[in-house]
């Protein structure tokens, strides 16, 4: 359709030109004293058009002639850019292939070629970023070869180049690389210093958070490591199971790093609710608080969610966790000197009656009765727990409690027998 329209337009132009030129009797007179030239209008128009075409072609030829030096410079610059990019690709290829010496030489070749371009008075549009990446590749190769002096030299130059406005995008990569190298050198404060210099958005990227987590662990900054682990789990950098395991370990370390009741309370308050409900974390915090003479009621409050979870479904806690819970509560009962609030007494009695085959609850109920000086009931519950107890330490503690009860009623033979059984454990 388009070709047909073009043909119709050409025919129309030809017809119009023929009609105009065939019936045109006009003339043009040119006066050039003392001469006079008479021309037909058609010839004048043809001469005028031909002059314009000749002048246009002459000007284009002159422009092409004058542009030859510029085109030569452009061709040389293009060849230099191709050589630069080829050397840069070779450096990257050698680096990922493990040929670090060749990678460094190729990166240094890029720098020398770029310097030669600058000496010729030319300027590359991406020269700053090219120099930054080349120095970074050379530094990475030197780091792999454990040549720290060469690495630091190229790294400082890359940092200087990235400070220019044309290479701001590469600066974050240089800082991240500096943090990673500091971690490889076991320099946690240096790594954290580089990470702190990152912009807010870059500092929350997964790669930066991973390095911050490693640096915080290495520097012993458990609170910072715990917060970073939460962010990594939120960003799905860790699986849910791995994230929970990591945060549990960090929370326990944070509590163990506390050395008095105030520090333990501060460490506990720094934990999330989900972390406080982890059995091992609650047990550790309660045990540390009791070991440092802290508030017994507060230690019981910390383990209360774990207790409620166990009462709702005894399978929520493993056997070792149920045993540890019983020992934590027993330790709190011993610290109060026989006093026990009625709410916990009700909880323990209710739980023991609802599940009489639970060895830990049976033992715990016997200990509570012993602390309340209910000697007969305590002896009965403790003897019943021996038949179902499998944990050796609890069996030993049960025999020791029975020995104390025998001494209380001045039964030396029963006390000696109980002590012998406890010694066997």
Identify the CA nearest to 14 among candidates 26, 22, 25. 22
The structure tokens 């050409």 sit at 10
pTM of this structure: 0.72
Is 282 contained in some domain? no
For 61-96, the pLDDT digits (tens) are: 998 888 888 888 888 888 888 888 999 999 999 999
Residue 403 within any structural domain of the chain = yes
Task: State residue 178's pLDDT score.
Answer: 92
Domain of residue 403, CATH code:
1.25.40.10
Residue 297: what are its φ and ψ, rounded to 5°? -60, -35
Asked if residue 125 belongs to a domain, the reply is no
Q: How far, in Å, CA of 343 to CA of 366, rounded?
A: 17
User: Which of 211, 158, 159, 206 has its CA nearest to residue 180?
Assistant: 211
CA distance 175 to 173: 5
Domain extent at residue 373: 304-425
In a domain, 208, yes or no: no
Residue at 119 is within a domain: no
- Number of structural domains (the chain) is 1
- pLDDT in the model for residue 337: 55
Instruction: Give me the DSSP letters along 275-344.
Output: HHTSHHHHHHHHHHHHHTT--HHHHHHHHHHHHHHHHH-GGGS-HHHHHHHHHHHHHHHHHTTT---HHH
Res 69: pLDDT: 85
Q: Do 219 and 207 contact (CB within 8 A), yes or no?
A: no
Show the low-confidence residues of the chain (pLDDT under 70): 17-22, 24, 336-342, 371-375, 377-378, 387-391, 393, 405, 410-411, 415, 418-419, 421-422, 424-425
Long-range CB contacts (within 8 A, 24+) of 90-99: 91/134, 91/137, 91/138, 91/141, 92/137, 94/141, 95/137, 95/140, 95/141, 95/144
Please report whether residue 391 resides in a domain: yes
| 347 found inside a domain | yes
Could you tell me if residue 56 is inside a domain? Answer: no
Distance CA 211, CA 150 (A): 23
Helix, coil or strand: residue 361: helix
Q: What is the pLDDT of residue 101?
A: 93
Predicted confidence (pLDDT) per residue in 382-409, tens digit: 777 776 666 676 777 777 777 776 777 7
């Amino acid at each position: 359709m388009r070709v047909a329209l073009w043909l119709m337009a050409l025919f129309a132009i030809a017809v119009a030109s023929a009609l105009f030129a065939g019936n045109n009797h006009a003339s043009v007179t040119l006066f050039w004293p003392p001469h006079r030239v008479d021309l037909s209008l058609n010839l004048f128009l043809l001469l005028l058009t031909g002059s314009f075409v000749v002048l246009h072609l002459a000007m284009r030829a002159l422009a092409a002639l004058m542009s030859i030096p510029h085109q030569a410079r452009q061709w040389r610059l293009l060849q230099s850019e191709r050589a630069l990019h080829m050397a840069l690709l070779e450096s990257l290829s050698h680096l990922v292939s493990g040929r670090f010496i060749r990678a460094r030489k190729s990166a240094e070749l890029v720098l020398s070629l770029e310097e030669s371009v600058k000496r010729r008075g030319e300027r590359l549009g991406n020269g700053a970023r090219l120099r930054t990446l080349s120095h970074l590749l050379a530094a990475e190769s030197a780091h792999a070869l454990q040549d720290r002096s060469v690495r630091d030299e190229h790294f400082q130059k890359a940092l200087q180049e990235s400070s220019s406005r044309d290479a701001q995008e590469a600066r974050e990569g240089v800082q991240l690389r500096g943090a990673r190298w500091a971690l490889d050198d076991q320099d946690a404060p240096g790594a954290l210093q580089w990470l702190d210099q990152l912009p807010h958005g870059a500092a929350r990227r997964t790669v930066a958070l991973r390095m911050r987590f490693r640096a915080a662990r290495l520097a012993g900054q458990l609170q910072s490591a715990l917060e970073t682990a939460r962010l990594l789990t939120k960003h799905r950098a860790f699986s849910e199971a791995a994230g929970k395991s990591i945060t549990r370990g960090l929370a326990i370390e944070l509590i163990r790093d506390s050395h008095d009741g105030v520090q333990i309370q501060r460490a506990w308050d720094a934990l999330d609710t989900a972390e406080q409900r982890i059995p091992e974390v609650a047990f550790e915090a309660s045990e540390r608080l009791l070991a440092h003479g802290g508030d017994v009621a507060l230690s019981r409050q910390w383990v209360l969610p774990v207790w409620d979870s166990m009462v709702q479904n005894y399978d929520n806690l493993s056997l070792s966790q149920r045993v540890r819970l019983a020992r934590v509560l027993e330790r709190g009962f011993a610290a109060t000197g026989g006093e026990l609030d009625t709410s916990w007494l009700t909880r323990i009695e209710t739980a023991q009656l609802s599940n009489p085959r639970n060895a830990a609850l049976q033992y715990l109920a016997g200990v509570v009765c012993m602390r309340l000086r209910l000697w007969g009931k305590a002896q009965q519950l403790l003897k019943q727990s021996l038949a179902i107890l499998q944990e050796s330490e609890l069996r030993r503690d049960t025999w020791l409690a029975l020995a104390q009860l025998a001494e209380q009623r001045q039964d030396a033979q029963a006390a000696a027998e109980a002590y012998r059984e406890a010694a066997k454990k």
